[in-house]
């Protein structure tokens, strides 16, 4: 990937052009140049007689250099880094800092390419440097301080209809969303997850959804209502972001910074691996009975002290015991 700064000071991440794409674009440009050279040659042969051989030779050399050097220089200068082949493949030449290509850089690339591309000796060098360089640079790019990037990316599939709108339970909450800190990378990752939602297994869907929802919640305020599913939360954020794209603005002036972020979607618990069954314990022999201490006899209660008071005389009944 490469960072390109546009005229509006917006940083774009675009991939470096692939080697097959550059070769195909070069083939288109070569076909156009060959057609132009054939037209020049026919014009010179038909317009000049046999006595003007020197004139024909000079005109042919001039036309050849003009087509080989002037064609890419003029096109890349006027279109800011594009030739007909690059237009067809969605490629663009930019400076090493991501700035648009200038006339000097286009001229240097074309002059070096006159020897590098159209020479049997140096053509393998151009192929080798393009394969080895991290940015696919040939020798002309190294001298000019340029490289080729892939400007036109394939169009992404739209989100499923169920994820393209704000879920009704989140409509009120979505009106207060602050999306100025949401990065393009995080939003793209959330969109890719929703596009592949039906292809993921339930376990991967739950784990990845919680991870992406936490990443989005760290850049979006306020946090979602408790119990919001990750897919519903992500679809609401992307729908609001799409609707507000023309009028995106930063945090309100004078407003306070967002509160410290706390994970709103705890990751699913990781199931512990099943443990191996334990063998049954061997039966233990019965323990020997402990000797018991004979019970102590209950303490005898003290005998009542006989009453020393004189016994009351029994009432007389007219009967006396025998002597």
| Same domain, residue pair 142 and 177 | no
Contacts (Cβ under 8 Å, ≥6 apart) of 26? 85, 117
Whole-model pTM: value is: 0.50
Cα(145)–Cα(1) distance, integer angstroms? 17
| Same domain, residue pair 48 and 129 | yes
Residue 29 within a domain: yes
Closest listed residue to residue 107, CA positions, set 146, 135, 137, 136: 146
Residue 319 within a domain: no
| Same domain, residue pair 8 and 145 | yes
Q: Exposure pattern of 150-185 as b/e (b: 16+ CB <10 Å)? A: bbeeeeeeebeeebeebbeebeebbeebbbeebeee
| Same domain, residue pair 136 and 229 | no
Contacts (Cβ under 8 Å, ≥6 apart) of 39? none
Burial (CB count <10 Å: 0-12, 13-18, 19+), residue 22: buried
Number of domain units in the chain: 2
| Same domain, residue pair 95 and 226 | no
Cα(201)–Cα(205) distance, integer angstroms? 6
Residue 291 within a domain: no
Q: Which residue has the tokens 């800011």?
A: 80
| Same domain, residue pair 25 and 118 | yes
| Same domain, residue pair 83 and 212 | no
Closest listed residue to residue 214, CA positions, set 270, 266, 269, 268: 266
Residue 21 within a domain: yes
| Same domain, residue pair 102 and 189 | no
Closest listed residue to residue 165, CA positions, set 108, 75, 61, 235: 235
Domain housing 86: 2-150
pLDDT at 196: 86
Tens digit of each residue's pLDDT, the chain (323 residues): 444 444 333 334 568 888 888 999 999 999 999 999 999 988 888 876 665 777 788 888 889 989 999 999 999 999 989 999 999 998 999 998 878 899 999 999 999 988 888 777 777 887 888 888 888 898 899 999 999 988 876 666 778 888 888 999 898 898 888 988 898 878 888 888 898 888 888 888 888 989 999 999 999 989 889 889 999 999 999 999 988 875 443 333 333 333 443 444 554 555 555 565 566 555 555 555 555 555 555 555 454 544 444 444 444 333 233 33
Residue 309 within a domain: no
Closest listed residue to residue 25, CA positions, set 138, 158, 164, 122: 138
Cα(235)–Cα(16) distance, integer angstroms? 31
Residue 119 within a domain: yes
pLDDT at 244: 84
Chain-centre distance for alpha carbon 250: 23
The residue out of 245, 264, 295 marking a domain boundary is 245
Closest listed residue to residue 213, CA positions, set 191, 195, 190: 190
Residue 22 within a domain: yes
| Same domain, residue pair 84 and 170 | no
The residue out of 214, 245, 276 marking a domain boundary is 245
Q: Are 264 and 213 in contact (CB under 8 A)?
A: yes
| Same domain, residue pair 166 and 143 | no
Residue 50 within a domain: yes
Closest listed residue to residue 91, CA positions, set 3, 21, 146, 154: 21
pLDDT at 272: 58
SS (H, E, C) the chain: CEEEECCCCCEEEECECCHHHHHHHHHHHHHHHHHHHHHHHHHHHHHCCCCCHHHHHHHHHHHHHHHHHHHHHHHHHHCCCCCHHHHHHCEEEEECCCCECCHHHHHHHHHHHHHHCCCCCCHHHHHHHHHHCCCCCCHHHHHHCEEEEECCCCCCCCCCHHHCCCCHHHHHHHCCCECCCCCHHHHHHHHHHHHCHHHCCHHHHHHHHHHHHHHHHCCCECCCCCCCCHHHHHHHHHHHHHHHHHHCCCCCCCCCCCCCCCCCCCCCCCCCCCCCCCCCCCCCCCCCCCCCCCCCCCCCCCCCCCCCCCCCCCCCCCCCCCC
| Same domain, residue pair 22 and 53 | yes
The residue out of 101, 117, 150 marking a domain boundary is 150
Q: Which residue has the tokens 């002037």?
A: 70
| Same domain, residue pair 30 and 99 | yes
């Amino acid at each position: 990937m490469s960072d390109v700064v546009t005229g509006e000071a917006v940083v774009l991440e675009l991939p470096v052009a692939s080697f097959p794409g550059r070769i195909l674009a070069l083939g288109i440009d070569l076909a156009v140049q060959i057609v132009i050279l054939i037209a020049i040659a026919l014009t010179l042969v038909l317009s000049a007689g046999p006595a003007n051989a020197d004139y024909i030779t000079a005109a042919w050399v001039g036309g050849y250099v003009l087509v080989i050097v002037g064609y890419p220089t003029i096109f890349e200068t006027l279109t800011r880094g594009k030739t007909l082949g690059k237009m067809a493949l969605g490629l663009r030449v930019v400076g090493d800092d991501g700035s648009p290509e200038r006339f000097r850089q286009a001229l240097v690339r074309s002059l070096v390419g006159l020897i590098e591309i159209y020479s049997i000796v140096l053509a393998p060098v151009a192929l080798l440097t393009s394969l080895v360089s991290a940015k696919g640079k040939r020798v002309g790019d190294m001298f000019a301080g340029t490289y080729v990037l892939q400007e036109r990316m394939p169009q992404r599939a739209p989100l499923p209809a169920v994820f393209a709108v704000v879920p009704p339970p989140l409509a009120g909450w979505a009106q207060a969303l602050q999306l100025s800190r949401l990065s393009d990378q995080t939003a793209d990752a959330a969109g890719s997850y929703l596009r592949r939602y039906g292809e993921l297994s339930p376990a991967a869907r739950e784990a990845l959804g919680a991870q992406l929802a936490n990443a989005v919640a760290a850049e979006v305020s306020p946090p979602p209502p408790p119990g919001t599913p990750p897919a519903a939360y992500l679809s609401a954020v992307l729908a609001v972001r799409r609707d507000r794209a023309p009028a995106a603005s930063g945090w309100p002036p004078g407003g306070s910074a967002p509160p410290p972020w706390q994970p709103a979607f705890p990751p699913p618990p990781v199931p512990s691996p099943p443990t191996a069954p334990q063998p049954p314990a061997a039966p233990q022999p019965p323990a020997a009975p402990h000797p018991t201490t004979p019970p102590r006899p209950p303490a005898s209660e003290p005998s009542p002290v006989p009453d020393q008071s004189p016994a009351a005389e029994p009432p007389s009944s007219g009967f006396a015991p025998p002597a």
